[in-house]
Amino acid sequence: MERIKNQNLKNFIITSSCGFAGCLITGFLFFQKDIFNLSANKSIITWLGLAGALVFSSMIFRNIKESLLFLVAVILLNIIIPKPHLISFIIRAIALYSSFWLSIYLYKTWFYNSPGKYNYLKAFGLGVITAILLFIAGLFLIFVNVPLERISIELIFQISFYYLQSGMLIGLGLGLGFEFAKNFFLKNKL
């Protein structure tokens, strides 16, 4: 029993590390060091990449309840950091991380363990799901946080493109990392 717990912990660490590394590499290729500047908009790749790696690994090697616990912990961590408009930031954190948790769950359910010889194409599935759900969350945030008189087509396009682009990069990076971990480190162990 102890050996199984140690193996699960090892698999958890490997999968989380590979997923987060894949996300960081993908983000770095497109935005260079901006993903490490936590005051920049592109830091969403770092935050959601870390959250996604931990949530997915807990879904696979632990259970759904623990993945939700990771989600709540990351949201609380984001809320603790002082922000100028705390209420709007709390709404933003809940909307983004909840939609992101759903995309990870759908990837796990639909793609991760499905058989096929094109394993790395599954990463595009996570990218597309994440992009769509973050896009929907972004539209929700526009109508919740921006006064109606300030909403324009340009604003909607700008924010929508930002969330679509970020979602695709985060999902693709995480998916590539998860598939890499599964194919090279966890073969025949799941």
pLDDT digits (tens, 9 = 90+) for 104-154: 889 888 888 777 666 778 888 889 999 999 899 888 888 887 777 777 888
Question: Which pLDDT score is estimated for 148?
Answer: 74
Residue 61, pLDDT > 70, answer: yes
Taking residues 35-41, report their average pLDDT: 71
Over range 85-103, report the average pLDDT.
Answer: 79
- Tell me, yes or no, whether 142 lies in a domain: yes
Tokens of residue 7, six digits: 């193996």
Q: How many structural domains does the chain have? A: 1
Q: What is the pLDDT of residue 187?
A: 64
Q: How far apart are CA 21 and CA 15, in angstroms?
A: 10
Amino acid at 152: S
Burial status of residue 99 (CB atoms within 10 A of its CB: 0-12, 13-18, 19 or more): buried
Tell me if 66 is assigned to some domain.
Answer: yes
pLDDT at 180 over 70: yes
Confidence of residue 78 (pLDDT cuts 50, 70, 90): low
Is 51 part of any domain?
yes
Q: Check pLDDT > 70 for residue 81.
A: no
Residue 80 lies in a domain: yes
User: What range defines the domain where residue 144 resides?
Assistant: 2-185
Establish if 190 belongs to a structural domain.
no
Are 96 and 159 contacting, i.e. CB atoms less than 8 angstroms apart? no
Per-residue confidence (pLDDT) for residue 55, from 0 to 100: 85
Which pLDDT belongs to residue 129?
Answer: 92
Structure tokens at 105: 């769950």
Give the pLDDT of residue 64.
Answer: 74
How far, CA to CA in Å, does 153 sit from each of 149, 158, 160, 161? 12, 8, 10, 12
Residue 126, in any domain of the structure: yes
At residue 40, the pLDDT reads 66
Q: Is residue 181 part of a domain?
A: yes
